[in-house]
Amino acid sequence: NAEVKAENAKLRCALEEHEARFTRLEQRDKEKTNLIAKMDDNIKEIKQSSAITSSVENPNNVVRLGKLEKMAKPSNTSDSTFNSNACKSI
């Protein structure tokens, strides 16, 4: 009988320790979740302010992709035509 009571006391103590540990882990999990949410908000704010700063510093560099492609590929000209025309004018 004494052995059973001693074993029950050990088990109750272990149960209390596990419950306390579980409670601490849950609390840490909540804190981490809150920190992650704050970091996500900070990242969004940084990206927004970075985009605003970038467009304010370089307002003329905001170009649509279609315009960039047209500027990069001149129509009806090739390197050989350009070079032959340049040589003729000299």
Q: Rounded mean pLDDT of 36-45?
A: 96
Residue 84 lies in a domain: no
Overall domain count for the chain: 1
Q: Which domain holds residue 43?
A: 2-75
Residue 42 lies in a domain: yes
Cα dihedral across residues 7, 9, 14, 15: positive or negative: positive
Residue 85 lies in a domain: no
Residue 82 lies in a domain: no
Residue 17 lies in a domain: yes
Q: What would the pLDDT profile of 41-59 be if each residue is shown by its tens digit? A: 999 999 888 877 766 666 5
Weakest mean pLDDT among 6-10, 28-32, 69-73:
69-73
Residue 31 lies in a domain: yes
pTM metric for this prediction: 0.49
The SS3 call for residue 49 is helix
Residue 87 lies in a domain: no
